[in-house]
């Protein structure tokens, strides 16, 4: 035989999944909610999202090419996800130049400074969002009024903000609730908020797709939402005048987006299933604490970043059960 | 609910191309090569010299210790030379090369096909005969069978498990044996039960072989102490530890042998060889080899004499396809890719798998995205991504703390990795380096 045989250690068979396939599955799962936000918020949302994705790609490409001097790998889809998630965390009326800064911080600081894909200790999109929230608090909390079509100078508060302001000014929760859309509207997404906050139902649809595709497991999203629900339910049972009910908590704000798409980021969440449960319980508890007693109406992005910081510790202590060991 | 082990495992496509192909007898080779290490343990001592006349079944290399095995000639003829040859793992080993002349068998071997079911031999005599016949685990691990059947003092088996799982994709040699030599298998199992003094035996078969399950269930009606246990398909269920876990729920302690939980596992081909050795005086000189691959003209199951060159088997299966890139001894998950096709068939070679360019090459390695799939896939509850990093950084002690030595090298981690990371390669490096550290300490 004139051709040499290939020698390699086993296994000789591979499942054939790739990073790219996984990333594009996540993008596909995000699409229903994203498209819905385009319908609700109109052209500004489209421009915001496209700018965000483009900025993320350019920043990653430039850093890889000119600073790290490696072959750019922006086609793996991960920067696109960061771009979409960043946009979904913004109010539609945000000035476009701001999201460019957000993308720079998300990819440049949140991702590439730690070594790129798989190395980031914090969710890059959240790093970008929190940077903008702290730097430009006014623009970041100015929500367009969706009762008129498209964005309008009239602004509308989000349900969570209404609760926070109301309770702080001495109103009871049932009184405030009269001004808040019904749960069916919250589920379907007929209220104001960030791009990705508005449709719980479509985000759940994305989760189902990712579960079927085995991109994520149920552990993080379900545990996070369940923890929020249980913790909120305890508070609500204790004092329904003071605290909002649990269903309200999981249907509003970034709860769904955070639990399904942000907390599940591979590199910033624990790897063992037991670790993921601990991590998600942490997110759920901290979110409700910030929403109830904190200065901000919404706290899931802070909660996820805080638990991201605990991930290495959780990875170190929550080991899978070893076969044959006690 | 079918039984299986709970933690980890993967589902490669079965690709059992030869499941419906009856076992064919392959003609005698022109020369046969007998490597002196066809088993785990000490190499056998070669007894013959150049020019010696050899008969089929004659002892040509004797066991080199307790954990070792006799080797018999599978052909008759003249010893051409004693030389070193390359084995399927790529190592040079001493071997006896015999030029085949005729087919003259030792008189003591019963070559008839009559089924013998009764024997007056006792436990020690059975084990002695198995030892003499050079029988080793034929599923691929090649652990000498007489050692398995002689538990250390203070340990006792209460259950014999017969491994008919054949969880490696492509391979069908055990499947065909169960269908075609079921009667012999049953008698072999009764001999194993007798040798170990256990109450009963359970045959574990994966559910993708319904015909074998049916057939053996029907045959086992005649034997009160033999049961068939269908199992859910999952790789690596053929691993001893995982088969025991699947069938009995018992967990072999880390670093321990199956006997620690009162079980002894033997492969179906081994059990049939036990029958032949004890009832027919036939040493281990032949075995079934699946020769397969999607691009082979006639993938087949061959009954071959040990020592036959792999190239002869591939010729019989239609010849080596033009675009062949890799030839594997064993299955695709744990088999070894061979350096050349002159390698002879050995006791543990259950299959020969031919891969083309597309199947035979690895994809470029990307960075770890920490998806955790390797942790989910690992049937030993390890963290392959971590073990790989520790090996890369040469942190051997830390790798040991993370139980790197527990790895059974099933390859589920590398199989499942979306970034094509060579997880198992580095874990093997870590295992062998740490193994050397332990040996140097002593």
Taking Cα atoms as reference points, which of B279, B386, B80 lies closest to residue A271?
B386
Count how many Cα atoms sit within 13 Å of the Cα of residue A149 in the half-sphere of its side chain.
Answer: 3
Q: Provide the token pair at A102.
A: 């957000």
Among B241, B292, B372, B375, which would you mutate to test the A interface (most chain A Cβ atoms within 10 Å of its Cβ)? B372
Residue in the block written with tokens 């009184």: A175
Tell me the two tokens of residue B378.
């690992």
Please report where in the chains the tokens 């030993």 appear, as a residue: B380
Q: Which residue has the tokens 């991109």?
A: A215
Lowest mean pLDDT among A126-135, A136-145, B211-220, B427-436: A136-145
Residue B398 pLDDT exceeds 90:
yes
Cα angle A269-B11-B143, degrees, rounded to a multiple of 5: 110
- How far off is chain B from A293, nearest CA to CA, in Å? 34
Q: Measuring CA to CA, which residue among B313, B354, B356, B361 is closest to residue B17?
A: B354
- Residue tagged 């696109």 (tokens): A80
Residues of chain B positioned with their CB less than 8 A from the CB of A22:
369, 371, 418
Is B372 in contact with A320 (Cβ distance < 8 A)?
A: no
- φ and ψ at residue B333, rounded to 5 degrees: -85, -40
DSSP symbols for B213-225:
HHHHHHHHTT-TT
Q: Give the SS3 label for residue B291.
A: strand
How far, CA to CA in Å, does B356 sit from each of A80, B66, B320, B328, B330? 36, 42, 10, 11, 16
CB contact under 8 A, B241 and A5: no
- B7 min Cα distance to partner chain A (Å): 8
Identify all chain A residues contacting B353, using CB atoms and an 8 Å cutoff: 12
pLDDT in the model for residue B393:
95
Q: What's residue B78's pLDDT?
A: 95
Judging contacts by C-beta atoms under 8 Å, the chain A residues touching residue B340 are: 5
Does the pLDDT of residue A153 top 50, yes or no? no
User: What is the model's pLDDT at position A190?
Assistant: 66
Query: Closest Cα to residue B55, out of B8, B13, B111, B115?
Result: B111
The CA R_g of chain B, rounded to the nearest whole Å, is 21
Find residues 358-387 of chain B whose CB sits inside 8 Å of chain A. 359-363, 366-372, 375-376, 378-383, 385
Q: Which residues of A touch B254 (CB under 8 A)?
A: 322-325
Residue-wise pLDDT for A82-139, tens only, equals 999 999 999 888 999 999 999 999 999 999 999 899 999 999 999 999 999 999 988 8
Helices marked H in B304-356: 310-316
For chain A, percent helix, then strand, then coil, each to nearest 5? 65, 0, 35
Structure-token pair, residue A208? 């189902």
B332: Cβ–Cβ under 8 A, 6 or more apart, which residues? A10, A11, A12, A13, B12, B168, B169, B170, B353, B355
Residues of B in contact with A3 (CB under 8 A): 324
Q: How far, in Å, CA of A291 to CA of A297, rounded?
A: 5
Can you tell me which residue has the tokens 């605290």? A243
| Low-confidence winner among A264-273, B85-94, B213-222 (lowest mean pLDDT) | B85-94
Q: How close B152 gets to chain A, by Cα (Å)?
A: 20
pLDDT at B163 over 80: yes
Please give, rounded to a whole number of angstroms, the shortest distance from the CA of B327 to a CA of chain A. 7
> Chain B residue closest to A120 (CA)?
B369
DSSP A293: H
Average pLDDT score, chain A: 89
> For chain A, how big is the Rg over CA atoms in Å?
21
Q: Give chain A positions within 8 Å (CB) of B252.
A: 324
Cβ separation A12–B328 shorter than 8 A? yes
Q: Is residue B358 helix, strand or coil? A: helix
What residues 246-305 of chain A have any CB closer than 8 A to a CB of chain B? Answer: 266-267, 271-273
pLDDT of A150: 45
Asked if B367 lies within 8 A of A267 by C-beta distance, the reply is no
Work out the number of other CB atoms within 10 angstroms of the CB of residue A282: 20
Tell which residue, B222, B217, B229, B225, has the closest CA to residue B200.
B225
A18 touches chain B (CB under 8 A): yes
Query: Is the CB of A2 inside 8 Å of chain B's CB atoms?
Result: no
DSSP character string of A292-316: HHSSSS--HHHHHHHHHHHHHHHHH
Question: Strand pairing partners for B59?
Answer: B72
Cα separation, A86 vs B357, in Å, equals 42
Whether B356 shows a pLDDT value over 60: the answer reads yes
Give the burial string for B145-167 (b: 16+ CB within 10 Å, else e): bbbbbbbeeeeebebbbbbbbbb
Residue with the bigger pLDDT between B202 and A239: it is B202
pLDDT > 70? residue A213 = yes
For A321, B32, B149, B248, B411, the CA distances from B245, given in Å and listed in that order, are: 15, 40, 20, 6, 19
Which pLDDT does position A152 carry in this prediction? Answer: 46
| Of residues B244 and A159, more confidently modeled | B244
Task: Tell me the nearest-neighbour CA distance from B46 into chain A, angstroms.
Answer: 30
Over residues A51-76, the mean pLDDT reads 93
The residue that leads in pLDDT, B276 or A294, is B276
- Answer yes or no: is pLDDT of A216 > 90: yes
What pTM was computed for the model?
0.90
On chain B, the residues whose CB falls within 8 A of the CB of A117 are: 367, 369
Q: Return the pLDDT at B268.
A: 96
The whole-angstrom separation of Cα A88 and Cα A111 is: 18
Spatial separation of the C-alpha atoms in residues B248 and A96, rounded to whole Å = 63
Segment holding B373, helix H or strand E: helix B373-377
B333 within 8 A of B165, measured Cβ to Cβ: no
Could you give the residue ranges of the DSSP H alpha helices within A169-272? 173-177, 183-188, 200-212, 219-238, 246-251, 255-257
Using a pLDDT cut of 70, give the percent of chain B over it: 100
- What's the average model confidence in pLDDT over B110-129? 91
Q: Show residues of chain A in contact with B385, CB under 8 Å.
A: 271
pLDDT at B9 over 90: yes
Q: What is the pLDDT of residue A173?
A: 82
Q: How many CB atoms lie within 10 A of CB B233?
A: 17
Burial state string for A60-76 with b = 16 or more CB within 10 A and e = fewer than 16: bbbbbeeeeeeebbbeb
**In the predicted structure, residue A254 carries a pLDDT above the cut 90:** no
B353 three-class SS: strand
**Least CB-CB distance to B371: which of A7, A116, A266?**
A266
Q: Are B103 and B75 in contact (CB under 8 A)?
A: yes
Q: Residue A196 CB: number of other CB atoms within 10 A?
A: 28
Chain B residue with minimum CA distance to A215? B371
CA-nearest of B168, B376, B388, B141 to B267 is: B141
Torsions phi, psi of B96, nearest 5?
-100, 125
Largest CA-CA distance found in chain B, in angstroms, rounded: 64
Residue of chain A with shortest Cα separation from B362: A12
From the number of C-beta atoms within 10 Å of its C-beta (0-12, 13-18, 19+), residue B86 rates as middle
Residues of B in contact with A311 (CB under 8 A): none
Q: How far apart are CA A151 and CA A166, in angstroms?
A: 25
B378 neighbourhood in chain A, CB within 8 Å: 320
Would you call B261 an interface residue with chain A, using a CB distance cutoff of 8 Å? no
Residues B407, A9 contacting (CB under 8 angstroms): no
Report how many Cβ contacts below 8 Å link chain A to chain B.
153
Domains of chain B: residue spans and CATH: 1-23+106-361 (3.40.50.11540), 373-441 (no CATH)
Q: Which chain B residue is nearest to residue A273, measuring alpha carbons?
A: B376
pLDDT tens digits for range B222-242: 999 999 999 999 999 999 999
pLDDT at A156: 64
Strands of the sheet with B159-164, listed across from one edge: B226-231, B200-206, B159-164, B263-267
Answer whether A118 sits within 8 Å of B367, measured CB to CB: yes
Eight-class DSSP state of B100: E
How wide is the angle at C-alpha B83 spanned by C-alphas B79 and B87, nearest 5°?
Answer: 110
pLDDT band at B327 (very low <50, low <70, confident <90, very high): very high
Phi, psi of A316, rounded to the nearest 5 degrees: -75, -30
Span A6-26, mean pLDDT? 92
> Looking at the complex, does the CB of residue B9 fall below 8 Å from at least one CB of chain A?
no
Using the predicted structure, report yes or no on whether residue A194 has a pLDDT greater than 90: no
Q: Give the whole-angstrom CA distance, residue A82 versus residue A128.
A: 9
Distance CA A139, CA A300 (A): 19
User: How far, CA to CA in Å, does B176 sit from each of B189, B282, B288?
Assistant: 17, 20, 9
Please give the Cα distance from A227 to A160 (Å, whole number): 18
For residue A303, pLDDT over 50 is answered with yes
Lowest mean pLDDT segment, chosen from A85-89, A193-197, B386-390: A193-197
Question: Residue A309's closest CA among A250, A248, A263, A268?
Answer: A268
Whole-angstrom distance, CA of residue B319 vs CA of residue B323:
12
Q: Say which residues have a Cβ less than 8 Å from residue B153's Cβ, sequence separation at least 6.
A: none
Strand-strand pairing, B286-292 and B53-54: unpaired
DSSP of B109-131: S--S----------HHHHHHHHH
Of A6, A13, A116, the CB nearest to B169: A13
Summarize the confidence of residues A299-313 as an average pLDDT: 95
Chain centroid offset of residue B372 CA = 30
Average pLDDT of chain B to the nearest whole number:
94
- Measure CA B339 to chain center: 20
């Amino acid at each position: 035989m004139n051709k040499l045989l290939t020698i390699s250690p086993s296994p000789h068979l591979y499942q054939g999944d790739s990073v790219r396939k996984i990333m594009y599955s996540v993008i596909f799962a995000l699409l229903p909610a994203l498209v819905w936000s385009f319908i609700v918020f109109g052209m500004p949302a489209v421009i915001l999202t496209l700018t965000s994705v483009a900025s993320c790609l350019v920043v990653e490409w430039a850093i890889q090419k000119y600073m790290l001097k490696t072959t750019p790998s922006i086609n793996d889809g991960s920067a696109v996800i960061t771009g979409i998630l960043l946009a979904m965390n913004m109010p539609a009326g945000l000035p476009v130049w701001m999201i460019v800064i957000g993308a720079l911080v998300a990819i440049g600081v949140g991702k590439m400074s730690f070594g790129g894909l798989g190395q980031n200790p914090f969710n890059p999109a959240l790093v970008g969002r929190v940077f903008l929230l702290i730097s430009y608090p006014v623009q970041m909390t100015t929500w367009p009024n969706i009762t008129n079509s498209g964005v309008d100078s009239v602004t509308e508060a989000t349900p969570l903000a209404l609760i926070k302001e109301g309770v702080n000014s001495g109103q009871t929760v049932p009184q405030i609730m009269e001004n808040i859309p019904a749960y069916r509207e919250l589920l379907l997404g007929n209220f104001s908020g960030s791009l990705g906050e508005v449709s719980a139902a479509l985000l759940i649809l994305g989760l189902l797709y990712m579960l079927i595709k085995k991109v994520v497991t149920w552990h993080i999203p379900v545990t996070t939402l369940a923890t929020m629900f249980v913790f909120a339910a305890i508070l609500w049972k204790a004092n329904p005048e003071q605290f909002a009910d649990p269903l309200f908590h999981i249907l509003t704000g970034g709860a769904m987006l955070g639990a399904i798409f942000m907390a599940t980021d591979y590199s910033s969440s624990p790897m063992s299933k037991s670790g993921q449960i601990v991590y998600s319980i942490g997110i759920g508890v901290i979110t409700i604490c910030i929403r109830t007693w904190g200065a901000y109406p919404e706290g899931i992005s802070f909660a996820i970043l805080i638990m991201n910081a605990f991930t290495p510790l959780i990875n170190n202590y929550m080991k899978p059960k070893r076969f044959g060991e006690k | 609910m079918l039984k299986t082990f709970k933690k980890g495992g993967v589902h490669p496509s079965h690709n059992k191309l030869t499941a419906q192909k009856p076992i064919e007898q392959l003609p005698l080779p022109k020369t046969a090569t007998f490597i002196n290490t066809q088993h785990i343990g000490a190499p056998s001592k070669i007894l013959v010299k150049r020019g010696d006349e050899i008969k089929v079944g004659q002892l040509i290399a004797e066991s080199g210790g307790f954990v070792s095995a006799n080797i018999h000639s599978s052909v008759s003829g003249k010893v051409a030379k004693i030389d070193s040859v390359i084995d399927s793992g790529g190592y040079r080993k001493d071997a006896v090369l015999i030029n085949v002349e005729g087919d003259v068998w030792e008189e003591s071997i019963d070559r008839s096909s009559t089924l013998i079911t009764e024997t007056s031999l006792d436990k020690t005599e059975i084990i002695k005969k198995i030892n003499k016949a050079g029988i080793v685990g034929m599923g691929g691990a090649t652990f000498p069978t007489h050692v398995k059947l002689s538990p250390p003092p203070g340990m006792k088996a209460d259950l014999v498990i017969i491994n008919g799982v054949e969880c490696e994709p492509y391979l069908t040699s055990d499947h065909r044996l169960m269908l075609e030599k079921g009667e012999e298998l049953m008698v072999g199992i009764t001999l194993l039960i007798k040798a170990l003094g256990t109450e009963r035996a359970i045959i574990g078969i994966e559910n993708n072989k319904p015909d074998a399950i049916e057939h053996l269930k029907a045959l086992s009606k005649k034997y009160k102490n033999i049961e068939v246990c269908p199992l859910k398909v999952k790789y690596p269920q053929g691993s001893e530890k995982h088969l025991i876990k699947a069938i009995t729920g018992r967990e072999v302690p880390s670093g321990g042998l199956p006997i620690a939980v009162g079980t002894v596992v033997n492969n179906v081909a081994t059990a049939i060889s036990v029958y032949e050795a004890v009832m027919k005086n036939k040493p281990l000189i032949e075995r079934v080899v699946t020769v397969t691959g999607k691009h082979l003209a006639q993938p087949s199951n061959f009954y071959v004499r040990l020592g036959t060159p792999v190239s002869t088997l591939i010729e019989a299966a239609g010849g080596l396809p033009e675009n062949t890139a890799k030839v594997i001894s064993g299955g695709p998950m744990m088999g070894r890719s061979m350096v050349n096709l002159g390698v002879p068939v050995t006791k543990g070679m259950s299959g020969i798998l031919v891969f083309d360019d597309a199947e035979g090459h690895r994809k470029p390695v990307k960075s770890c995205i920490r998806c955790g799939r390797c942790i989910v896939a690992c049937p030993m509850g390890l963290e392959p991504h971590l073990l790989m990093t520790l090996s890369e950084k040469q942190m051997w002690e830390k790798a040991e703390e993370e139980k790197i030595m527990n790895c059974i090298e099933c390859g589920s981690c590398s199989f499942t990795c979306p970034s094509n990371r060579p997880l198992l390669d580095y874990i093997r490096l870590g295992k062998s380096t740490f193994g050397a550290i332990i040996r140097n300490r002593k």
